[in-house]
Structures are given as C-alpha cells and as structure tokens.
Amino acid sequence: MKLFLALAGLLAPLAMPQTSNGTIPGTSGDWVYRGDSQCCGLQTIFTVTLDLLKRKLQPLFPGPFNVTGDMRSSEMPELTSMHTLFLREHNRLATQLKSLNPRWSGERLYQEARNIVGAMVQIITYRDYLPLVLGPAAMRTYLPRYRGYSDSVDPRIAKVFTKTFRYGHTLIQPFMFRLDNQYRPTGHNPQVPLSKAHFSSWRIVLGGGIDPIIRGLMATPAKLNHQNRIVVDEIRERLFEQVMRIGQDHLALNMQRSRDHGLPGYNAWRRFCGLPQPNTVGELGTVLKNMGLAQKLMAQYGTPNNIDIWMGGVSEPLEPNGQVGPLLACLIGTQFRKLRDGDRFWWEKPGVFSAQQRRALASISLPRIICDNTGITTVSKNNIFMSNSYPRDFVNCTSIPKLNLASWREA
C-alpha cells in the first residue's frame, strides 16, 4: 500500500518537526472559494459579470477538475453538487446585493456575498449539524453558548481532528442515489455503486444536473455506524477503483494517516479527554460495551495503547442521540469550539454583521439555499441532516423562510 504522507512543509527544512495537514482553520466556507493567485481573477469575473447566475455547473479550470476551494470537490458527484450549490448561492447573493447597492464595486459585491456565505456555513454547521453528531449532552459540555471572541484561543486545526472527523466514513451508503421531482428513482442507473461514482463528474452533466443527486441526499438516510459493520465494502475494498489499478481500503488509509503524523494511540486521547483508559481486554470490552470487538482489537494491537485513534474512536458506542462515541465527541466538539471562539470573523461577533443583519441571517437554512439555487420545489421541513421520509417530512419551498437582505442596503 502506498503511504499517504502529509506535506511536510514543502519538504523543507528536512528537520522540521511538524507536518502540514493542509487544512485552513475556520468554518467560513473557504471550501467554496479558491484562494490562489491563478484563480483570483476568475473569482472577480464571476462577481462583476455574474457569469454563473444561471443554473450552470462548476467551471473546469484548467483541466477536468472543478474550480473550488477544496481539491477534493471532484472526488464524488455529491461533493461536486454541494460545491455547485454554494457557488450558485454566492452569485445569487451578489446579484441581489448589486440591485440593492448599484454603486458597489465588483470587489465589494464579491466580499459581501462571501461573508454571507461564510455565515451561512457557520450557522448550518453549528445549529443544525453538530447537535446531531455530538448529541445533546456532549453539545452542552464541549459547545456551550457563544460568549464572544477570545484572542487566547488557537483556532488552528489539530492533527488529531483531521483523523477523528473522518468518522463520517462510517455513515457512507454503498450507493449514490438519484431521485426525480416525486422522489422516485430516476435515470438509467438511479443507484450507482460508490466504486463507480468516484471522480465521475460526467454523471452530473449527463444525468440531469445536481438536482437528482441533492434529492437523493435529502431523502436517503445515512448508514448507521454498527460495531459489527463500521464501513461498507465499497470504500473498504473498492475505493477509487475506477481511477486506480486496484481499489483502495479507506480504513487502512485512515489509520495510516495517524501513523504518518506520529499521533499517539487510543488511550492517550482518552486521557486527554478525561475518560477512563482501559488496559485489559475486559476493561476495553466494558468501554466498548462489546467484548467480541474488544477481543478482536486486542488480538491485532496487543494493548489499547496501540489502537489507532480513528479505529478506537469509531468503535465506541454512540452517545445518546448522537453519531459518535464519547472520545470522538470530545475531540470533535473541542475543535469546533476553538474554531468558533478563536474566529475574529465569527458571524455572531459584534462588528462582523449589524444586529439587524444577524437577525436576518438567523433565518437561513440549507433547504432554503436548495430552493433558491436548483429546480427542486419540495424540501425537508425538519432538520435536513435528520432522516427525512418523503412525503411526510417534506414541504413546498414556499413555506421555507427567505433571507431578507434589506439590512445590507446602504443609504
């Protein structure tokens, strides 16, 4: 297996003790925007000429990959669809801001629209997504109510977070689902095996655009993480099979990443979080509430101290009404609190937006963004990240509140 090493500070100096995790701190939607000089001119063109206001797909630049702030956006059609959705939202906002403020420059329109998109990402992440991941008890412990910016909080991404947040691989279904406007399977191949979907943006272009895929995401529940089936075979045995000579193993890559970074094992992170550290197979079985799994892990690792952080984290029983166990709840919650409290541009921080603008932003939702930027007219009425069943849990877009930009009008 090839080693997937992180960039070691562009390989210089060789004695450098820290590796780079390639992740920008913050939750302000940077994955939507590309920040290199090669693309900055393109971003300005998008805003000034409003080239992408029509419901087009992501641009290809300069080759067969989508232009976004995250090089992985072409990895899956679902990822490409979400990047496309937020690019459209950026340009929709820029258009509305231009009509409110005709004298604003293209740069001003771009930056204001980007600020709003960043706030949307923060609100959706912290209000709608994280409570379902961590569970209510862990939310109270690790992500209490926002009390303001602190310059003593380091918002940089911890290396351990780049491993533990990959818990999401346990939620992946073995298929990509495409649904029509009645939420029925659509197209020649409505359920594409994941191994056939990787790096296949052409499926969006030739398969009806992003709408069928986004409907599939809304109406298809995520896989539940079971201790006896942590991930599906499509990513355990056939990852990137279409573009590599042999399929990869996502679990193995996740564990190799932590070794590349020299991260300590399971018990060291349990200690960091103030959790009991099991030493025997019996104690590990008690922590996992699964003696059979504990025996398998001990047979492979010899001691809980050696268990890779990703493997140990996803093996724990889930928190009540959450999607992760106690260790991952601690590590994920701690990182997201630092990202929030150490962010000078957090949307709730006084001076970032006016009080009227903050009140307007509080009404936004991912279903509304979908309504405004696709041909989809029926969306989830509950938290979009919950398991929603059509038609019981869906409503017409007309009942979803819109963002009122009146408070962005300059006198």
| pLDDT tens track for 329-342 | 999 999 999 999 99
Check pLDDT > 80 for residue 229: yes
The pLDDT of residue 25: 56
406 Cβ partners below 8 Å, 6+ apart? 100, 360
Check residue 10 and give left, alpha or beta (phi > 0: left; psi -120 to 50: alpha).
left
Region 288-314 average pLDDT: 97
Q: Higher-confidence residue: 189 or 407?
A: 407
* Structural contact between residues 340 and 327, judged by C-beta atoms closer than 8 angstroms: no
Region 255-273 average pLDDT: 93
**CA-based max dimension of the chain:** 70
**Could you state, in order of their start, the residue ranges of all structural domains in the chain?**
261-320
Check pLDDT > 50 for residue 3: no
Q: Higher-confidence residue: 205 or 400?
A: 400
Check pLDDT > 60 for residue 173: yes
Tokens of 397: 């877009």
Check pLDDT > 70 for residue 34: no
Check pLDDT > 60 for residue 362: yes
Indicate the range of 52-56, 277-281, 330-334 predicted with least confidence: 52-56
Contacts of range 149-152, beta carbons closer than 8 Å, 24 or more positions apart: 149/341, 149/342, 149/343, 149/344, 149/346, 149/349, 150/341, 150/342, 151/342
Q: How many CB atoms are located within 10 Å of the residue 118 CB? A: 22
Region 45-62 average pLDDT: 45
CA angle 247, 249, 253 (to 5 degrees): 125
| DSSP-based three-state secondary structure for 146 | coil
Indicate the range of 23-37, 186-200, 233-247, 359-373 predicted with least confidence: 23-37
Q: Higher-confidence residue: 169 or 246?
A: 169
| DSSP-based three-state secondary structure for 57 | coil
Region 359-373 average pLDDT: 98
Q: Higher-confidence residue: 254 or 58?
A: 254
Check pLDDT > 50 for residue 302: yes
Q: What are phi and psi of 176, to 5 degrees?
A: -100, 125
The pLDDT of residue 14: 37
Query: Does the annotation list 169 as a binding residue?
Result: yes
Q: Higher-confidence residue: 197 or 232?
A: 232
Q: Is the pTM of this model over 0.95?
A: no
Check pLDDT > 50 for residue 55: yes
85-111 pLDDT tens trace: 999 999 999 999 999 999 999 999 999
Indicate the range of 12-16, 65-69, 262-266, 365-369 predicted with least confidence: 12-16
Region 312-318 average pLDDT: 97
| Average model confidence (pLDDT) across the chain | 85
Check pLDDT > 60 for residue 205: yes
Identify the bridge partners of residue 226 per DSSP, sorted by sequence position. Answer: 229
The pLDDT of residue 349: 98
Q: What is the percent of the chain where pLDDT is above 90?
A: 64
The pLDDT of residue 45: 40
Check pLDDT > 60 for residue 50: no
* Structural contact between residues 269 and 325, judged by C-beta atoms closer than 8 angstroms: no
Confidence of residue 57 (pLDDT cuts 50, 70, 90): low
The pLDDT of residue 24: 55
Contacts of range 167-170, beta carbons closer than 8 Å, 24 or more positions apart: 167/225, 167/310, 167/313, 167/314, 167/323, 167/324, 167/328, 167/332, 169/231, 169/235, 169/250, 169/251, 169/254, 170/223, 170/225, 170/230, 170/231, 170/314
Check pLDDT > 90 for residue 201: no
The pLDDT of residue 166: 93
Indicate the range of 59-73, 230-244, 386-400 predicted with least confidence: 59-73
Confidence of residue 11 (pLDDT cuts 50, 70, 90): very low
The pLDDT of residue 5: 44
* Structural contact between residues 57 and 193, judged by C-beta atoms closer than 8 angstroms: no
70 Cβ partners below 8 Å, 6+ apart? 31, 83
The pLDDT of residue 7: 40
Q: Higher-confidence residue: 74 or 12?
A: 74
Beta strand 191-193 with 394-396 is unpaired
Q: What is the percent of the chain where pLDDT is above 70?
A: 82
